[in-house]
A and B are shown apart, each in its own frame.
Chain A
Amino acid sequence: MYLPDEVLVRKTINGDLDAFDELVRRYEGKIYGLAYRFMGNHADASDLAQDTFIRVYQALAGFRGDASFSTWLYRIAANICRDELRKRQRRRSVSIDEMIDASPANVPTADGSYSPEETVQRREVQSQVQFCLNELSSDHRLVLVMREIQGLSYEEIASALQCSMGTVKSRISRARSALKDKMIKEGELLSSSDRLNAKGGKTNAMS
């Protein structure tokens, strides 16, 4: 009853749109999340995530299966994100600051373990973290979103970004270092983080 991705891919190629619909359902959350954290706002995230799936659909016949479908999907999403940023930098029409939503996105629905004050404070911290992410170079941001938020392994990232494991390792290392410097520059973020972490933030896959 649950078909592997690869079977759904084959069915889609044979004209079964329902099969593709199923693939979209499986991955839209991940791809949207990637696009959102990369761009910093919902409007761009929606556009980029939709573009990703449309491009995937059009290119599906060329999917050779040398990587898993999900890795291939991430590869396309990463390319679309980078292309978009490049386009914008050429036009310079939107500053990075404007790109970020004024309000932090989808803060998880009311959580009983936090008081209203703490919730407000957490939102503030989250929007600062997003701001720092958006200050990084697109390569650094992309690799951090994939690693820290999506929880991809080094191998998966290497396959999605089509680079070596060594490159992934050093890029993650440099990206983290740059992020840490930004956070220190932003002031309170790192000094207050200990307290917030002690309260137990959501921990993504650590492995």
Chain B
Amino acid sequence: MQCRNICEMLSPYIDDMLESSQVVEVEEHIAVCAACRLEYDKLRAAVELVRGLPEVLPPSEFHEDLLQKLQSLPAHSVTDSPTVWIRRLAWGKWSKTLAVAVVLFLTIGVTAFWYGNKEGGLPGSAFQLSVGQNIDDRGERYGGDAGDDGRDLETAQKTAKNAQEQTAKDTKATEQVETEKNAARDQDTGQGNLAAPGVSVSNKQLAVSRETGEEPVTAAGDDNPGSTAAGGDQVSRDLVALEGKPVGDDSLFSMMAAPRDDLGDVAIMENNSLPAATELTATLTLNTQPNAVTDWSATAGRYGGFVETEPQQTGEYWVLRVPTGNVDGFIKELNNLGQVDIQSNTRDIAVDLKRAEERLNMLQEQEKALVAQGAGQTESDAVGTAELDALREQITLQQRALEESQKDVNFAKINLYVK
């Protein structure tokens, strides 16, 4: 093999775009030919240097400037543009809706799955446990928060514990609900759709609680009395739990409510954009004596935040997490302590969030399909169960990833250098 031919293959070799036989050729050649080896090293180094260039973000005014230009385009003067602008100004409110929507999304997903499960006659206890576990983890993760988050943490842990203890009882309750529902269906033969009621009820109720801000009323099943009564009651009790008062019997739903609980109200903040992760780097030159120690945990705690990592040695910095809506207040407090120099960085994670949700959705679909299949053929149970468990593990992981992203949206990361 001539060196010239090898050189032509080096670039696709770097990108893993060669066939396996060609890969062998290249590797064997550069192992013995010093010139080609050097050529490869240099090429690779050049590529790495370009890949190592930092990401360049558009300046903060870029987006607004562009929108203004778009608004003033003559050909595309969009209908009722004043309304559009008013709506844009109200985007602070938008973001609350978004946070609620995440809860809603999970609620509907799991509700649909729960009903689907009952159809298949499986209790889905493994899944319930995994969700419970999940919340336990969250409790720990946010457990470092100072101050009044303690109560929330306790609630979350109690809820998770309840969930595990109640699993067996739930199975029984499930059967009971199933019987009730069957009876209802016999009476009300026009409505064959079993999965829909739960979904529509939860939908409606969440919508009510979101719009009015009051505790939802339990009469949601009104216009659909027969088949939705059982599901409606369950869901409405869930919403009571959502307000921070877990009720013993409805472990499954109160678990879903927990995320909102333990993030606390501060987490649903005045974010003025779509999901974006904010990162600030602040250098603080203290007015006071250098050896005067500031309790950053308490300071961040006053703004609903917490210390993520502490500096281990000089030259390192504090990583604080503060709810996005409270960052301004926190910065003001920093200004009182000394001279502050701030660099801000906002990373749009809408795409990441979307991917994570799509994946979660897909996994839950798969799970539903698997459960539906398993109902017909009991002999392949062992194989099916293992597959289902693996799938559920993935779902839990995915939910965690989603929570992580959500945390980046809710809590700004502040890298704080103290001089």
Q: B157-170 toward A: CB 8 Å interface, digit per residue (1/0)?
A: 00000000000000
Interface residues of B in 68-100 (CB under 8 A from A): 69-71, 73, 75-76, 78-79, 81, 84, 87-88, 98
Closest residue to B87 on the A side, CB-wise?
Answer: A18
Q: With A17-B78, A190-B46, A193-B46 given, name 15 new contacts (CB 8 A).
A: A2-B358, A16-B78, A29-B348, A46-B59, A50-B62, A54-B70, A109-B343, A112-B317, A144-B50, A172-B15, A173-B11, A176-B11, A183-B49, A203-B48, A206-B16
**Docked pose: A58 CA to B76 CA in angstroms:** 7
Report the minimal beta-carbon distance from B268 to chain A, rounded to whole angstroms.
15
A180–B76 CB distance below 8 A: no
Give the number of A-B contacts (CB < 8 Å).
186
Known A21-B67, A58-B75: A154·B62 in contact at CB below 8 Å: no
A18–B73 CB distance below 8 A: no
Q: Which of A53, A110, A203 contacts B66 (CB 8 A)?
A: A53
Q: B341-356 toward A: CB 8 Å interface, digit per residue (1/0)?
A: 0010101101101100
B76 contacts which chain A residues (CB < 8 A)?
57-58
Report the minimal beta-carbon distance from B95 to chain A, rounded to whole angstroms.
12
Report the minimal beta-carbon distance from A166 to chain B, rounded to whole angstroms.
11
**Interface SS majority for chain A:** helix
**Docked pose: A169 CA to B8 CA in angstroms:** 10
**Docked pose: A107 CA to B53 CA in angstroms:** 9
B351 contacts which chain A residues (CB < 8 A)?
26
Question: Is B47 an interface position by the 8 A CB rule?
Answer: yes
Known A24-B63, A46-B59, A57-B73: A180·B415 in contact at CB below 8 Å: no
A106–B54 CB distance below 8 A: yes
- B interface residues, Cβ below 8 angstroms from A: 8, 10-12, 14-17, 42-43, 45-59, 62-63, 65-67, 69-71, 73, 75-76, 78-79, 81, 84, 87-88, 98, 101-102, 105, 273-274, 279, 281, 283, 315-317, 343, 345, 347-348, 350-351, 353-354, 357-358, 415, 417
Q: A51-86 toward B: CB 8 Å interface, digit per residue (1/0)?
A: 001100110000000000000000000000000000
Question: Is A207 an interface position by the 8 A CB rule?
Answer: yes
- A interface residues, Cβ below 8 angstroms from B: 1-2, 15-18, 20-22, 24-26, 28-29, 32-33, 36-37, 42, 45-46, 49-50, 53-54, 57-58, 105-110, 112, 125-126, 129-130, 133, 144, 147-149, 154, 169, 172-173, 176-177, 179-180, 183-184, 189-190, 193-194, 196-197, 201-204, 206-207
**Docked pose: A149 CA to B417 CA in angstroms:** 30
A105–B56 CB distance below 8 A: yes
B79 contacts which chain A residues (CB < 8 A)?
15
Known A176-B43, A184-B42: A54·B73 in contact at CB below 8 Å: yes
Closest residue to B317 on the A side, CB-wise?
Answer: A112
B66–A24 CB distance below 8 A: yes
A26 contacts which chain B residues (CB < 8 A)?
348, 350-351
What are 16 A-B contacts with C-beta separation under 8 Å? A15-B78, A18-B84, A28-B348, A54-B73, A58-B76, A110-B343, A112-B315, A169-B12, A173-B8, A176-B43, A180-B45, A190-B49, A193-B49, A196-B52, A197-B48, A202-B51
A33 contacts which chain B residues (CB < 8 A)?
55-57
A149 contacts which chain B residues (CB < 8 A)?
50-51, 53
Report the minimal beta-carbon distance from A113 to chain B, rounded to whole angstroms.
10
